[in-house]
Amino acid sequence: MRATRDRVPSLKMQFLDFFRDQQFSDIKLEPIHNLALEVPVEAGENFQFWIESVSSSPEVAGAALVKIECLDDSGEVIRILDWPHKSSLVGDYIYIESGPIENPKVTHAAFRVPANATLIRLTGRQWKADIETLVLGAVEYLPGPTPGALQSGTPLSIPYENYDFSENVDPGAQQVKVDITVAPGTGTNLPLKVQLFDSAGTEMLSPASLPHHPVQGAFINCLASRDSKKDTSAVIDLPEGVSQIRVSSFANWSAKGSILGAPHFEYEFHRTVEQVFNSIEALPAEDKEQPLIFVDSTAPPLGHQTLAIRPNNLAQEFCNASATVVYMPFSSLQEHENTVDERLVQFPRNDFHAVVDELLQLEWQGPKVYYCTSFPDWNAASVIDRFNRNGWTTVYEIRDNMEEFKRVGYSKWYDPSLEVFVAQRADAIITVSGALARKMEAVAHPDRQPKVIPNGVRAELADVFSKYRSLEQIAERQPLKVVGYVGHLTPAWFNWQYVMAAAKALPDYTFEIVGHGAPDNLIAPDNLKILGPKNHEELETIMPRWKVALIPFVDSPLTRGVDPNKIYEYLACANRVVSAEMGSVSTYPATTVYATLESFIDQIRLHMEAEWTQEELNSVEVLVEDAKWSSRARQVLNFINEIGKED
């Protein structure tokens, strides 16, 4: 017995010396027989624990164990159903797997708490007296306060089938960002089910911002790799009244792997609708004599670096033109704030009807405009008559042929009958192209003549690119022979067949493709470079080396209705343009359209060899100035003033 007591300090001292050399400190060590833990539990929940330990003889199996007791309120032991390790002497138990000093090992156990059990007791035992086992730190368990790593720094690895976490939602939170890390060695992605519950424990509707499995419901698809750990993040909109969020593995799912630690929850607390409108009500009287515009949009939130499109740009320019703007993106605000400017605010989509109620109660002396931009959904259909009855000017703007978007798998919310409903009730119709204007003429009120106001270019980008709109600079890029494209790369409208064929036919040219959505299995020739998505600052260093820029869309009703933003950016940078037929591009300077693959390749070659003239550059200057978003916003506001209402 004395020898045993002497050996414990010896092993402990060896271990502490080793970890001091590794620059660890505050390592807590206890003999296995000191392990004693009691945890209150609820019947039916998934209980699991981790014990990290070292041994004087790690090669010997079964040297130590942990006795597991599930107790009811009277202290009676309830055996664990189907537990594989049982004995008449100990009851339910698990052997401890221990490592050498330099490599502690982790023992993990998981089981369902049996019926009527209210307490779990864990007791350590040194089963072989001539071997010493030391436990590092505390026993970690779930449900419970779980760290991301054990005391030695070893990540807490949770088998997929045992992954089940519930978190009380911080009151007032409108969004939560969930971060999950999958352990290396996992061969397939791991789906985790996400459920929301109210304060009574009743499950709420599944988060709409997540993908849905037909049986399991909303889920986060966690990325995995055999070679390294993989991080996955998901942003979830939180409905009013949510009290708890649960993240768990799919039931009866065949995926195998482990996840490192508990999910990390980071809550976003945007100002409430009432708080934001209190700020709007406090604006000076002169501001309330200017327009108030509610932009109801399919676009991303304001502040997004790479995906700002027409509604984002118009909202900002309306504000710059003295209007007060309430903006609503397609879904959540993600990481962006409610307040962009004193007179420019935004709300997540789930606040739609609360925002409308506040707008209709707001005392405002200037013009009031409901600006529905390519989002004629049930929300728009349900409120357009309310706005009309309350003296608001209602505008339906159509930026794309949403019917064709739905046909190729996008805009699944779209219903043509709702678009007709909104278009027939709007005071004004704005489109970005003649093709879309003709579509609206067929369905809108006969007194509503659609107004074509094309897309535009950011003034900052046009001004930065102004130095490239010179004959001298264009001559400098001629030897580079670079052809470029920026935009979305989905095969639904990007003509990969033509671009690949052109790159092969013109091997002396370099093709640079910028944007989201390139096919994963693309096998590109060496002179075709896929650069991925780039922000505006990065584009300012990429586009000036292009001599020719492309709009290589497939020919379809979807693309024929488009007025491409990119053509204004291309021309602002003095890129000659080769485009599919769409919008008004054929009328623009330094631009030609193609109809066949042969003409596509020929036009690229001709534009690469063509010299700019000063007359062409002068025409481009006029077009770019007129296409700045500040100019487009003035065109919209002038049109609205022409058909405005009185209260």
Question: DSSP state, 155?
Answer: B
327, β-bridge pairs = 295, 346
In 3D space, the residue among 37, 250, 12 whose CA is nearest the CA of residue 138 turns out to be 37
d(CA 5, CA 198): 54
Sign of CA dihedral 169, 173, 177, 179: negative
Q: Residue 135 has which token pair?
A: 């436990």
pLDDT of residue 594: 97
> What average pLDDT is seen over the chain?
90
Query: For residues 431 and 398, is the Cβ–Cβ distance under 8 A?
Result: yes
Question: DSSP state, 203?
Answer: B
Tens-digit pLDDT profile for residues 454-464 = 999 999 889 99
Tens-digit pLDDT profile for residues 465-481 = 999 999 999 999 989 99
Query: For residues 35 and 121, is the Cβ–Cβ distance under 8 A?
Result: no
Query: Any long-range contacts for 376-383 (C-beta under 8 Å, 24+ apart)?
Result: 376/402, 376/414, 376/418, 376/419, 376/421, 376/422, 376/423, 377/413, 377/414, 377/415, 377/418, 378/418, 379/296, 379/352, 379/353, 380/296, 380/418, 380/422, 381/418, 381/421, 381/422, 383/353, 383/356
d(CA 85, CA 107): 14
By residue count, the chain amounts to: 647
Tens-digit pLDDT profile for residues 192-208 = 999 999 999 999 998 88
Tens-digit pLDDT profile for residues 366-412 = 999 999 999 999 999 999 999 999 999 999 999 988 887 888 777 88
d(CA 357, CA 353): 6
Residue 610 DSSP SS3: coil
In 3D space, the residue among 247, 242, 270 whose CA is nearest the CA of residue 179 turns out to be 247
Query: For residues 219 and 211, is the Cβ–Cβ distance under 8 A?
Result: yes
What percent of the chain clears pLDDT 90, i.e. is strictly above it? Answer: 67
4 pLDDT above the threshold of 80: no
d(CA 607, CA 338): 46
311, 314, 316, 320 alpha-carbon torsion, rounded to 10°: -170
8-17, 413-422, 447-456, 618-627: least confidently modelled range: 8-17
In 3D space, the residue among 248, 196, 194 whose CA is nearest the CA of residue 218 turns out to be 194
Tens-digit pLDDT profile for residues 503-521 = 999 999 999 999 988 887 8
Please give the domain boundaries of the chain with CATH numbers for all domains.
Answer: 11-143 (2.60.120.680), 157-268 (2.60.120.260), 279-452 (3.40.50.2000), 461-627 (3.40.50.2000)
d(CA 561, CA 434): 8
pLDDT of residue 5: 42
Confidence of residue 447 (pLDDT cuts 50, 70, 90): confident
pLDDT of residue 517: 84
d(CA 39, CA 103): 28
Confidence of residue 137 (pLDDT cuts 50, 70, 90): confident
Q: Residue 140 has which token pair?
A: 């970690």
Query: For residues 277 and 362, is the Cβ–Cβ distance under 8 A?
Result: yes
70-74, 99-103, 418-422: least confidently modelled range: 99-103
pLDDT of residue 219: 95
Q: Find the radius of gyration of the CA atoms of the chain.
A: 32
The CA–CA distances, whole Å, from 159 to 162, 178, 271 equal 5, 19, 39
5-14, 92-101, 179-188, 555-564: least confidently modelled range: 5-14
pLDDT of residue 482: 97
The CA–CA distances, whole Å, from 69 to 48, 143, 433 equal 13, 16, 73
Q: For residue 446, which amino acid is it?
A: P
Q: Choose between 130 and 14: higher pLDDT.
A: 130
Residues 6+ apart with CB under 8 A from 464: 540
In 3D space, the residue among 632, 631, 621, 302 whose CA is nearest the CA of residue 463 turns out to be 621
Tens-digit pLDDT profile for residues 37-87 = 999 999 988 899 999 999 999 999 999 999 999 999 999 999 999 999 999
Residue 115 DSSP SS3: coil
pLDDT of residue 146: 63
Confidence of residue 174 (pLDDT cuts 50, 70, 90): confident
Q: Residue 286 has which token pair?
A: 């002169």
Query: For residues 558 and 405, is the Cβ–Cβ distance under 8 A?
Result: yes
26 pLDDT above the threshold of 80: no
Tens-digit pLDDT profile for residues 291-347 = 999 999 999 999 875 568 999 999 999 999 999 999 999 988 877 888 999 999 999
64, β-bridge pairs = 126
- Distance between alpha carbon 420 and the CA centroid of its chain, in Å? 31
